[in-house]
Chain A
Amino acid sequence: MISFDPTVADHDHHSPTPHTGRAVRIGIGGPVGSGKTALVAALARSLAGRVRLAVVTNDIYTTEDADFLRRAGVLDPQRVEAVQTGCCPHTAIRDDITANLDAIELLEERFASADEGGLELVLVESGGDNLTAVFSRGLVDRQIFVVDVAGGDKVPRKGGPGVTTADLLVINKTDLAPLVGADLGVMTGDAATIRGELPVIAQSLVEDPGAGEVGAWVLEQVAAVRAAV
Chain B
Amino acid sequence: MAGLASLVLADARFPGGGHVHSGGLEEAVSRGAVSDVESLGSFLRGRLRTAGRIAACFAAAAAHRARPAASHERTPRGEGFDEGSAREVPGEVGRGPAADAAAPADAAAPADAAAPADAAALSHERPPRGEGFDEGSARDVPGGGWGAMDAEFDARTPSAAQRAASRAQGRAALRAVRAAWPSPVLDALTSAHRHPHHPLLAGAVIGHAGEDPAAAARCVGYLAVSGPASAAVRLLGLDPFAVNAVLVALGPDLDELTAEAAALAAGPVADLPAPGAPVLDLMAESHVRHHRERVRLFAS
Could you tell me how many residues of chain B have their Cβ less than 8 Å away from some Cβ of chain A? 27
Query: Is B266 in contact with chain A by the CB < 8 A criterion?
Result: no
Partner of A86, one of B20, B168, B175, B294: B20
Chain B residues with CB below 8 A from A83, complex form: 20
Given the known A-B contacts A96-B15, A96-B16, A98-B175, are A84 and B296 also in contact in the complex, defined by CB atoms under 8 Å? yes
Query: Is B70 in contact with chain A by the CB < 8 A criterion?
Result: no
Query: Is B198 in contact with chain A by the CB < 8 A criterion?
Result: no
Chain B residues with CB below 8 A from A96, complex form: 13-19
Chain A residues with CB below 8 A from B16, complex form: 96, 98
Contact between chains at A86 and B15 (CB < 8 Å): no
A62 CA / B172 CA spacing, docked (Å): 24
Query: Is B299 in contact with chain A by the CB < 8 A criterion?
Result: yes
Chain B residues with CB below 8 A from A86, complex form: 19-22, 231, 234, 297-299
Chain B residues with CB below 8 A from A63, complex form: 292-294
Contact between chains at A99 and B17 (CB < 8 Å): yes
Considering only residues 251-300 of chain B, those with a C-beta below 8 Å from chain A are: 292-299
Task: Tell me, rounded to whole Å, the shortest Cβ–Cβ distance linking B292 to chain A.
Answer: 8
Contact between chains at B297 and A99 (CB < 8 Å): no
Could you tell me how many residues of chain A have their Cβ less than 8 Å away from some Cβ of chain B? 19
Query: Is B250 in contact with chain A by the CB < 8 A criterion?
Result: no
Chain A residues with CB below 8 A from B20, complex form: 83-86, 92, 99
Please, what's the 1-or-0 string for A86-105, where 1 marks a CB less than 8 Å from any CB in chain B? 11100110011111011000
A60 CA / B15 CA spacing, docked (Å): 21
Task: Tell me, rounded to whole Å, the shortest Cβ–Cβ distance linking A128 to chain B.
Answer: 13
Chain B residues with CB below 8 A from A88, complex form: 19, 234
Partner of A84, one of B14, B293, B297: B297
Interface secondary structure of A, over-half rule: loop
Query: Is B176 in contact with chain A by the CB < 8 A criterion?
Result: yes
Considering only residues 160-199 of chain B, those with a C-beta below 8 Å from chain A are: 168, 171-173, 175-176
Chain A residues with CB below 8 A from B294, complex form: 62-63
Task: Tell me, rounded to whole Å, the shortest Cβ–Cβ distance linking B23 to chain A.
Answer: 11
A13 CA / B85 CA spacing, docked (Å): 25
A97 CA / B18 CA spacing, docked (Å): 11
Contact between chains at B17 and A102 (CB < 8 Å): yes
Chain A residues with CB below 8 A from B172, complex form: 98-99, 102
Nearest-CB residue, chain B, relative to A100: B17
Partner of B299, one of A60, A62, A84: A84
Query: Is B2 in contact with chain A by the CB < 8 A criterion?
Result: no
Query: Is A217 in contact with chain B by the CB < 8 A criterion?
Result: no
A63 CA / B294 CA spacing, docked (Å): 7
Task: Tell me, rounded to whole Å, the shortest Cβ–Cβ distance linking B15 to chain A.
Answer: 4
A101 CA / B168 CA spacing, docked (Å): 12
Chain A residues with CB below 8 A from B13, complex form: 95-96
Query: Is B247 in contact with chain A by the CB < 8 A criterion?
Result: no
Partner of A95, one of B15, B231, B235, B293: B15
Task: Tell me, rounded to whole Å, the shortest Cβ–Cβ distance linking B191 to chain A.
Answer: 19
Chain A residues with CB below 8 A from B299, complex form: 84, 86, 99
Considering only residues 48-89 of chain A, those with a C-beta below 8 Å from chain B are: 60-63, 83-88
Chain A residues with CB below 8 A from B234, complex form: 86-88
Task: Tell me, rounded to whole Å, the shortest Cβ–Cβ distance linking A23 to chain B.
Answer: 17
Contact between chains at A97 and B15 (CB < 8 Å): yes
A99 CA / B165 CA spacing, docked (Å): 12
Chain B residues with CB below 8 A from A62, complex form: 294-295
Chain A residues with CB below 8 A from B21, complex form: 86
Contact between chains at A60 and B19 (CB < 8 Å): no
A60 CA / B13 CA spacing, docked (Å): 23
Chain B residues with CB below 8 A from A97, complex form: 15
Task: Tell me, rounded to whole Å, the shortest Cβ–Cβ distance linking B96 to chain A.
Answer: 30
Given the known A-B contacts A98-B176, A102-B171, are A87 and B297 also in contact in the complex, defined by CB atoms under 8 Å? yes
Please, what's the 1-or-0 string for B104-135, where 1 marks a CB less than 8 Å from any CB in chain A? 00000000000000000000000000000000
Please, what's the 1-or-0 string for B223-237, where 1 marks a CB less than 8 Å from any CB in chain A? 000000001001100
Nearest-CB residue, chain B, relative to A98: B17
Contact between chains at A98 and B295 (CB < 8 Å): no
Residues of B within 8 A of A (CB): 13-22, 168, 171-173, 175-176, 231, 234-235, 292-299
Query: Can you list 20 contacts pairing A with B, beta carbon distance less than 8 Å?
Result: A60-B295, A62-B294, A62-B295, A84-B296, A84-B297, A85-B19, A85-B20, A85-B297, A86-B19, A87-B234, A87-B235, A87-B297, A92-B19, A96-B16, A98-B176, A99-B17, A99-B20, A99-B172, A99-B299, A102-B172
Residues of A within 8 A of B (CB): 60-63, 83-88, 91-92, 95-99, 101-102
4 extra A-B contacts, CB within 8 A, seeds A86-B20, A86-B234, A102-B172: A86-B297, A87-B234, A98-B17, A102-B168
